[in-house]
Amino acid sequence: MRLLVSLLLAATLLSGCVVMVPGHLYPVKGPLAATNPPPIHRLTLNGVYKSGTLTVTLPDGEACKGDWSAISQDDPRA
C-alpha cells in the first residue's frame, strides 16, 4: 500500500512538469501581414522542461506539427 501511495504521489508531482500552452501566431511581415484583418494561427506547445512538440492550426483547419527546443540567447542560431 505504501508503494502505491508513493508511486501515485510521484506521478502527480511529475505530471506538473508537462506543459500544454495555448497561444497565437500573427504574421508581421510579408503578404499575410498585409491582409486586413491578418490571419491568426492557433498554437499549442507541449513538452517537458526545454523541448517538446508544437501544433499550429491554420485558418482552413489544417494542423502543422513539429518539434521545439529551447536554446540560449547566446546561441548563433537564436
Does some domain include residue 3?
Answer: no
pLDDT tens-place string over residues 8-41: 666 555 555 556 677 888 889 999 899 999 888 8
- Provide the residue range defining the domain that includes 45: 18-78
Count the neighbouring beta carbons within 10 Å of the beta carbon of residue 35. Answer: 10
Tell whether 74 is covered by a domain.
Answer: yes
In a domain, 26, yes or no: yes
Cβ neighbours for 22, distance < 8 A, ≥ 6 positions apart: 42, 43, 44
Is 8 or 45 the better-scoring residue by pLDDT? 45
- State percent of the chain over pLDDT 90: 21
